[in-house]
Amino acid sequence: MATAVTPKVYKNYINGEWVDGSGAAAIEDRNPANRDELIGMFPSSTEADVNRAVDAAKEAYKKWRLTPAPKRAEILYRAAEILVARKEDYAREMTREMGKVLAETRGDVQEAIDMTYLMAGEGRRLYGQTTPSELPDKFAMSVRAPIGVAGLVTPWNFPMAIPSWKIAPALVCGNTVVLKPAEDTPFSSYNYVQVLAEAGLPAGVVNVVNGDGPGAGAPLVKHRDVGLVSFTGSTEVGRIISETCAPTFKKCHLEMGGKNIIIVMDDANLDLAVDGAIWGGFGTTGQRCTAASRIAVHKKVYAEFTGKLIERAKALRVGDGLDPKTDMGPSINEQQLQTVIKYVEIGKNEGAKLVAGGHRLDSGVHARGWFHEPTIFIDVNPRMRIAQEEIFGPVISTIPFSTLDEAIEIANGVVYGLSSSIYTRNVNTAYRAQRDLETGIVYVNAPTIGAETHLPFGGIKNTGNGHRESGPAALDFYTEWKSLYIDYSDKLQRAQIDNAE
Ligand code: UN1
């Protein structure tokens, strides 16, 4: 593939203008399927850029918070309409910078469309409560109040969808935004913000500061004028962000790692379960927070299931996501690929049986990309590191079990709690599993990936810190409740507690 001669240079977006960053270096956005292909150069920003962006957001907040929510929402609606028209172009550009196959990048843009429409609809809801007062001639209600400047730090695996999960609710609620997009995939986030600008968003309401975590993310998170922080990424970074927010009690939403499981019962439709495991485990090259990296299979069907799974995994075509024949794209970068390689070694040393894949692909069409074979370990002990730690790559561990109780114990025996799934035809088994699986999302007869935008998204344990995004639940993070009382009795009325006889 041709190498760009003069790479396009992209900028930060501050106060309605595209401006240079003040950092000396620039960040290269490269195609993970062909590292010779430079998508563009993005600013490596510093604290000075962050400060300018936060100042702009703080200033814009004064007007934006007073703009009626249905009017704020109309801009989101227009943005969604533009995204619909450009879906194919943005999907292609996303495959070039992120690597996942075109069908999946179309899905990523679609998720941004869905979220933007959904939050546009919230502009005419943003419901609070009205409720009777305990006193006569007194009215009581609660409303959602915006908070101020939201600092958003987003990952590379859903480079348009996840920024939209955070930006759209932040805006409809009346907050303004400074976004620090992932340095591996800044272009798709740029495209989303460009669309918002075209849809008529006033200057300063959304700002983008590109850069890495220490250079741009850290100053954003700790900035005293940033009133809320939302982060999706690793548990290690999430912990640092949580600690940074704690001293000032900054509102902080964290969406972190996962070690998601599919449980296959002996009464499951096995072919359906194999479909689910392949899609859940190898979709997005295993680089979803929701990816199924553990497949627990009932001993009665274990041999048959793993046989089918291995056959299917070996048949997957790995390559450039723009090629319609490709089933699975590359890892995002060398470091991520090295993590995959490291865990394959760990699995082998732990005594798990490697039965498919296990190697980096680096010759022929794969020579210039960060490719790895779809990899399966069988007979994995649930305590092994490959069954405990997030790998974020195309590696599945299958674990045999004998009873539902044992499967649930295996499922819950990890520090994470994002998504889980069970394949069974028994309604009692399904309901028991949905009750007992300790994850924020539970599927029956569907894989661990594929959450819809209008339901709460998030996890428990080391995956999250109690907040949810997506759906109306997101509004709880991006607003504070304000309780309003109106006394129209024209006299001092004491509350019931102050009126005790
Ligand atoms: C993520 O991997 O961080 O549920 C998000 C899913 C997608 C979102 C994944 N809708 O798989």
For 368-378, the pLDDT digits (tens) are 999 999 999 99
Cβ < 6 A, ligand 1 pocket = 111, 157-158, 232, 288-290, 449-451
* Same domain for 72 and 133: yes
User: Does residue 452 form part of some domain?
Assistant: no
The rounded distance, in Å, linking the Cα atoms of 203 and 220 is 19
User: Does residue 458 form part of some domain?
Assistant: no
pLDDT of res. 4: 47
User: Does residue 1 form part of some domain?
Assistant: no
Residue of 184, 212, 201 whose CA lies nearest to 50: 212
* Same domain for 403 and 388: yes
Measure Cα distances from 371 to 9, 188, 310 in Å.
Answer: 27, 22, 19
Whether 2 shows a pLDDT value over 90: the answer reads: no
Residue 123 DSSP class = T
Among the three residues 413, 444, 475, which one is the final residue of a domain in this structure? 444
Query: Which long-range contacts link 441-446 to residues 24+ away (Cβ below 8 Å)?
Result: 441/290, 443/419, 445/268, 445/269, 445/272, 445/276, 445/421, 446/276, 446/421
* Same domain for 385 and 478: no
Mean pLDDT over 286-300 rounds to: 98
* Same domain for 189 and 114: yes
Of the candidates 37, 255, 373, 390, the residue annotated as catalytic is: 255
Atom of ligand 1 nearest to the CA of 283: 11
User: Does residue 490 form part of some domain?
Assistant: no
* Same domain for 274 and 190: no
Mean pLDDT over 52-65 rounds to: 98
The rounded distance, in Å, linking the Cα atoms of 72 and 150 is 16
- AA letter at 24: A
Q: In sequence order, what are the residues at sequence separation of 6 or more whose Cβ sits closer than 8 angstroms to the Cβ of residue 47?
A: 215, 219
In this structure, which residue's CA is closest to atom 6 in ligand 1? 450
Pocket test for ligand 1, best of 113, 260, 457, 470 (most atoms within 8 A of CB): 457
Residue of 119, 118, 128 whose CA lies nearest to 169: 119
User: Does residue 74 form part of some domain?
Assistant: yes
* Same domain for 116 and 46: yes
User: Does residue 186 form part of some domain?
Assistant: yes
CATH of the domain at 394: 3.40.309.10
* Same domain for 265 and 252: no
* Same domain for 236 and 356: no
**Counted domains in the chain:** 2
* Same domain for 251 and 314: no
Confidence of residue 198 (pLDDT cuts 50, 70, 90): very high
For 342-384, the pLDDT digits (tens) are 999 999 999 999 999 999 999 999 999 999 999 999 999 999 9
* Same domain for 231 and 116: yes
The fraction of the chain above a pLDDT of 90, given in percent, is 97
* Same domain for 478 and 431: no
For 224-274, the pLDDT digits (tens) are 999 999 999 999 999 999 999 999 999 999 999 999 999 999 999 999 999
CATH of the domain at 469: 3.40.605.10
pLDDT of res. 501: 65
- Give the burial string for 399-435 (b: 16+ CB within 10 Å, else e): bbbeebebbbebbeebebbbbbbbbbeeeebbebbee
The rounded distance, in Å, linking the Cα atoms of 411 and 271 is 22
252 is catalytic: no
For 24-52, the pLDDT digits (tens) are 889 999 999 999 999 999 999 999 999 99
17 is catalytic: no
User: Does residue 194 form part of some domain?
Assistant: yes
As a whole number, the mean pLDDT across the chain is 97
User: Does residue 268 form part of some domain?
Assistant: yes
**Structure-block tokens of residue 444:** 């029956």
Pocket test for ligand 1, best of 100, 165, 288 (most atoms within 8 A of CB): 288
Pocket test for ligand 1, best of 290, 332, 390, 420 (most atoms within 8 A of CB): 290
Q: Where are the alpha helices (DSSP H) in 135-185?
A: 161-172
Confidence of residue 23 (pLDDT cuts 50, 70, 90): confident
Residue 468 and residue 221 in contact, taking contact as beta carbons nearer than 8 Å: no
For 401-414, the pLDDT digits (tens) are 999 999 999 999 99
Taking phi over 0 as left and psi of -120 to 50 as alpha, with beta for the rest, 422 belongs to beta
Owning domain of residue 22:
12-256+464-483
Rg of the Cα atoms in the chain: 24
Of the candidates 97, 104, 289, 373, the residue annotated as catalytic is: 289
* Same domain for 296 and 183: no
